[in-house]
Amino acid sequence: MRILEIDKLNEEELKREFAANGISLTISEAKKVAEILGRNPTLVELHLFNSEWSEHCSYKSSKSTLEEFLPITGPNVIQGPEEDAGIIELTKVNGQRYGLVIAHESHNHPSQVLPVEGAATGIGGIVRDVDCMGARVVAVADPLRFGDPSGKNGARTRWIANGVVTGIWEYANALGVPNMGGDTYFNSSFDDNCLVNVVALGVVKEDDIVHSAVPKEASKEPYDLILVGKPTDNSGFGGATFASKLLDEEQEEESKGAVQVPDPFLKNVLLMRKANQEVLALAKERGYVIGFKDLGAAGIACASSELCASGGFGADINLDDIPQAMDDLLPEVIACAETQERYVLSVPSFFSPEVLAVYNRNWALPDIYEGAQAKVIGRVIKEKSYILRHKGEVVCNCPIDEVVKGIRYKRVAKPVLWKEKEPEFDRPTNLKEVLLKVLASPNVASKECIYRFYDTEVQGNTVIRPGEADAALIAPLEEIGSKVGVALSCDGNPFYGRIDPYWGGATAVAEAMRNVASVGATPSGITDCLNYGNPEKEEVFYQFREGVRGISDAAKNIWLKGHKETAVPVVSGNVSFYNESSTGKNVDPSPIIACAGIIDDYSKSVTLQFKHPESLIYLIGERKDELGGSEYYQQLLGLLGANVPKVDFEFERRAIYGVIDAISQGSVLSCHDISNGGMAVALVEMILGARASGRLGAVVELTGLSPNLRADKRLFSESSGFILEVRSSLSPQFEAIFNNYRIKPYLLGKTADKPILVIKDKDKELIEVGIKDLAKAWLGGTKEAMR
């Protein structure tokens, strides 16, 4: 057993020891550990605190800001963000309340170093978070951010992008979970740090929810700790701290060891083929209360300490009892490696033999993967200590609450002022060419070249596939006779965040809510993955705080429909800091929001493609001079501008409610929100449909619409809004619905039974372009970027 003599070594000696042993703690943090223990720590203890006090695990820079701003409770919240996943009410069937389980994480650093493995294990980790709540995993999604594919690092960007997509589809498809898509952006701020965010959804009966805490029953009855899954190896060792520091290209090879190795086929047996569910069902049948937690960051050490501490207990674990895939693993590696496809359970000791039999005999884990098994590795103790034993020695004995509570830093926020101004330029004479150029941008163009790899229908519950509408839609309870649908959208524009971090956060929430409303679902809960640079930099921490404040204001002011002045709750999320290269280049502030929407009857949902000729086309939402960060400015001028879209929360709320009601009452044939590329792009996408198979065109007239704004800005402004296709006979009903919300819909024009888009202003033709030209531009942009 090695003890690090904190009290005897000088600062330079400590730094050398830390570097030699992969310790990322600061000198002051290490001395704090020694102070807590009242002695010099063992190397195992130092690694334990190294992981648990990392930014990734402890949220040491962000927690106070999250607690200050985010609304996490609500009348529909069953479980807030305190556990591995949040749960909101989905529906009731035969008097039984069902919950929608939502988890949202990032796997950014690993995916930059090893794209396939990093993305795959991101999916693997997020589905475990949902599974260990007792839920059936029903969907995943993945918002992605990559570098500039045509920039100086273009070849590497394309390698990373294709590797990430491969990792996602290879894992999720093999696992048997449908993919609901997710937005994708390319820009140079992500050259050195791609963002791979992952979302998972599950459904669970409220009575079947399992918590990631040792139950109170352990105070009266002996409880064991059981490890389930792959044998422990050295993969992912240091992963928690790797995710909490800057990426350094010169250390890329050694960083690869911090990336985990996936095995979706073993996960399929544990999760999708219901080995875990069999254990949970058996425990429920017998009336035993158990704890269940997945192994993610910092492996066994993190999962077991948090499981026991959350219940008010301690743990005594023998590392020699942990199945190992490699000889002579160091105790700190056994404790903190992030070997994938593993769970830890706390169960009554007398129940342990049955649990082991389910995994090892009924589901034959040792036959599926060499060394895989379920095994008792320790016990729950009443003393609030975290004890690890190795080869007859106690290599760790720490106060368990000190281990898991982490530390807090009070970071300083320094305002950042955007220096670029709004450009002054003449209106282009050929708006058709401009439109085609905007359509070909990989940030606007079809993502079908990505989605086509995903199995979107594997569980047979998919109603709307990725790209067919602003949100994908599943019917997760159809097998028990419920028509309830769940819509999911993931959003966040990095260009808005760069210009104004507050509105970057607020518009991400608003767009995600608009997107689920566009299929007819009611925004019911959101999650956030907050991707920023180095929080030790005052400007970056300011961007973070402003982004969170924007998210909070949007959630609190758009409201939960049917509950006046009640926020749409934030029930899960993640903070990913240190998305900065060794050269000091930060990613654009990127708060990425996932919004889950619920629709009582999925058969009433709509997609975005135009359905019938001679339908009326309505616009909801005034066009404003808000083109800062727009694709129009970037493609036309190579500039970002300054005036980002600013959400009028009251109008946004009324517009969203009106769209939901209009779709529910059957007057809407198709609906699309306005975002990237503005109204012009939204019209094109409604003409083309998900796979550019549309045959209907449109003729629209801008006369009277935002008359003080130039025509090109009306077309490409990214101010929030909706475009809806309405049957002519139902237009009075449609307009009455919006009049109830004090909104006057603007009649843009009609769908046409010919393959052409015509846009006029005061009877003067601005754009006339055929579907073939539109499709060629729109289908090629992202495909070219990924080539």
Identify the DSSP state of 231.
P
Strand 570-576 relative to strand 522-531: parallel, antiparallel, unpaired? Answer: parallel
Question: Would you state the structure tokens that stand for residue 618, as one six-digit string?
Answer: 């309505």
* Torsion sign over Cα 701, 702, 703, 705: positive
Q: Which amino acid appears at position 733 of this protein?
A: Q
Residue 96: helix, strand or coil by DSSP? strand
For residues 526 and 145, give the distance between their C-alpha atoms in angstroms, rounded to a whole number.
Answer: 20
Question: Would you state the structure tokens that stand for residue 631, as one six-digit string?
Answer: 């694709």
Axis crossing angle, helix 27-37 with helix 11-20, rounded to the nearest 10: 90
Q: At which residue do the structure tokens 């898991």 appear?
A: 404
CA angle 429, 434, 439 (to 5 degrees): 160
**Which residues have C-beta within 8 Å of that of residue 177, sequence separation ≥ 6?**
127, 137, 138, 139, 140, 200, 272, 458, 459
Q: At which residue do the structure tokens 């129940």 appear?
A: 351
For residues 254 and 672, give the distance between their C-alpha atoms in angstroms, rounded to a whole number.
Answer: 46
Strand 144-146 relative to strand 184-186: parallel, antiparallel, unpaired? Answer: parallel
**Which residues have C-beta within 8 Å of that of residue 677, sequence separation ≥ 6?**
438, 439, 441, 444, 630, 631, 632, 716, 718
Dihedrals φ, ψ of 43, to 5°?
-65, -35
Residue 554: helix, strand or coil by DSSP? helix
For residues 610 and 469, give the distance between their C-alpha atoms in angstroms, rounded to a whole number.
Answer: 11
For residues 654 and 517, give the distance between their C-alpha atoms in angstroms, rounded to a whole number.
Answer: 12
Order across the sheet with 485-491: list the strands: 462-464, 472-474, 485-491, 590-599, 522-531, 570-576
Report which of 109, 136, 210 is spatially closest to residue 486, judged by C-alpha positions.
Answer: 136
Active site residue 107: yes
Residue 376: helix, strand or coil by DSSP? strand
Q: Which amino acid appears at position 457 of this protein?
A: E
C-alpha of 266 from chain center: 24
Active site residue 47: no
What are the start-end ranges of the E strands in 674-763? Answer: 697-701, 722-726, 746-752, 756-761
Axis crossing angle, helix 501-517 with helix 649-664, rounded to the nearest 10: 10
Count other Cβ atoms within 10 Å, centred on residue 478. 15
For residues 506 and 290, give the distance between their C-alpha atoms in angstroms, rounded to a whole number.
Answer: 40
Choosing from 47, 104, 107, 390, the catalytic residue is 107
For residue 118, count CB atoms less than 10 angstroms from its CB and return exposed for 0-12, middle for 13-18, buried for 19 or more.
Answer: buried
**Which residues have C-beta within 8 Å of that of residue 250, sequence separation ≥ 6?**
582
Dihedrals φ, ψ of 125, to 5°?
-70, -40
Report which of 227, 226, 224 is spatially closest to residue 379, judged by C-alpha positions.
Answer: 224
How far apart are the two ends of the chain, measured CA to CA in Å?
Answer: 52
For residues 692 and 777, give the distance between their C-alpha atoms in angstroms, rounded to a whole number.
Answer: 11
Choosing from 56, 109, 390, 672, the catalytic residue is 56
Report which of 442, 530, 661 is spatially closest to residue 59, judged by C-alpha positions.
Answer: 530
Contact 102, 87 (CB under 8 A): yes
For residues 199 and 466, give the distance between their C-alpha atoms in angstroms, rounded to a whole number.
Answer: 14
Give me the helices (H) in 70-197, please.
108-113, 115-131, 154-175
Q: How many alpha carbons lie under 13 Å from residue 729 in its C-beta half-sphere?
A: 2
For residues 576 and 531, give the distance between their C-alpha atoms in angstroms, rounded to a whole number.
Answer: 5
Q: Catalytic site residues?
A: 56, 107
